Structure formats: C-alpha cells, structure tokens
A and B are shown apart, each in its own frame.
Chain A
C-alpha cells in the first residue's frame, strides 16, 4: 500500500503564531484525508482533499493538496491552545484501507 510521510514529527508553537505541517507521498494519491487527535482522545476527521491544487479552509485552518497530488499541507493561523494535539494525514491504502502518516504532535506554548 501507499505510504505517507509527515514532517515535522513534533512542533512547539507559541500561542498566536502560525504553523504548517506537511504530508508527502512518493506516489500520486487519489485523495488525502486529515485527522486531529487531542491528547488522551481519539482521531477525528477534519477534511478530505481530492482535486489537484485544491485548497479548503475551515476557520483558521487551511488545507492544500499539491498540483501533482503527492503532497498536502495544513496551515493554522493565530494558534490557540485548543489547537494542541496530533495531526495525521492519511492516503488510500488499497482495499478500503487508509495509510496513516506517523502524525505531527503539536504543543502550544501559552
């Protein structure tokens, strides 16, 4: 199945600043999904991107799918303490499976 790599693995972000997390694949992805897991919680679906170059926004979150459909990014502006958690991207893993990246753990510094 396909594999997706996430960078960075860890981020410390000052409250109020912006940050970006990246997801890369060596092969073309038909779609990419993003999930967020709060500390002690379970992953929750955020969004799915399907089209080449697609950009979607959810309030302070901007999701982008690369033109070649091999990479994706999540950009968060004006970070708040509620943004703490681990952000996962996931690509198709074949046979209705998902291939999750290892996640980007984000710590917010007040």
Chain B
C-alpha cells in the first residue's frame, strides 16, 4: 500500500544474528500489526500496537520484539531466539475509529536466514 513502507524487500542474515525490519506509515492510523506468512499457513499475528508506547503479543511472539516510540513507526526485531526465522513478514495498519476496520498491508519483507 502506498502509505506503508517496509524496507528492504529482501533481507539476508546469518544464523544467530538479530535483525530489525522496518515499518513506516503515513496514514495516521492508530493500530499497527506484524504478521508472519509461511506457505500454506496463512497470516499469523506476531505483535500489534494500538497506541504509542504500548503493544501486545500476538499468537507467535516468541523470538520477536517490537517497539512503538512513534505513531508512524513499528519496527520488528527478529532475535536469534527465533528458531525458524526465514519467512515473509508483513506489516499492516488500521484505524480504530469504528468497530469494523479493514487492515492495510505494506509490501512485505522476505527474510532469509542462512
């Protein structure tokens, strides 16, 4: 989506290294989400945040960490504790203005750990 930036598109790291994936948005959305996508597994929620300086664990938070110091930014760190980090990582945002809010996705970062 034009208002959400994830960089880089492809990322390679050696096993045992931490790596931080960036997600920036200019949509002025309150909520931001990180998903992991593996073939045949759909979208699994890692972490999400509804307000600056606050975030909650999703379904597969182990081995990941996040921060939300600014409304526009929600970086995800994949730590060496994540056993199988190679995956496609998607950042999404949504408003919280109504009960039914669609999510807008960034282009994703494909992480490969060698």
Which residue numbers of B lie inside 8 Å of A, CB to CB?
Answer: 1, 31, 33, 40-43, 45, 48, 50, 56, 58, 90, 92, 94, 96, 99-108
- Contact call A44/B100, Cβ cutoff below 8 A: no
Q: In the bound complex, how far is the Cα of B58 from the Cα of A88, in angstroms?
A: 19
Could you say which residues of chain B place their CB within 8 Å of the CB of A96? 31, 48, 50, 94, 96, 101
Q: In the bound complex, how far is the Cα of B99 from the Cα of A31, in angstroms?
A: 10
- Contact call B42/A100, Cβ cutoff below 8 A: yes
B95 to A, closest residue via Cβ: A96
Task: Indicate the member of B31, B58, B90, B103 with the most A CB atoms within 10 Å.
Answer: B103
A1 to B, closest residue via Cβ: B59
Tally chain A residues at the interface, Cβ within 8 Å. Answer: 21
Contacts A44-B105, A96-B94 given: A101-B48 contact, CB under 8 Å? no
- Contact call B100/A31, Cβ cutoff below 8 A: yes
Could you say which residues of chain B place their CB within 8 Å of the CB of A44? 1, 105
Proximity bits, A32-57, B CB within 8 Å = 1, else 0: 01000000011111001010000000
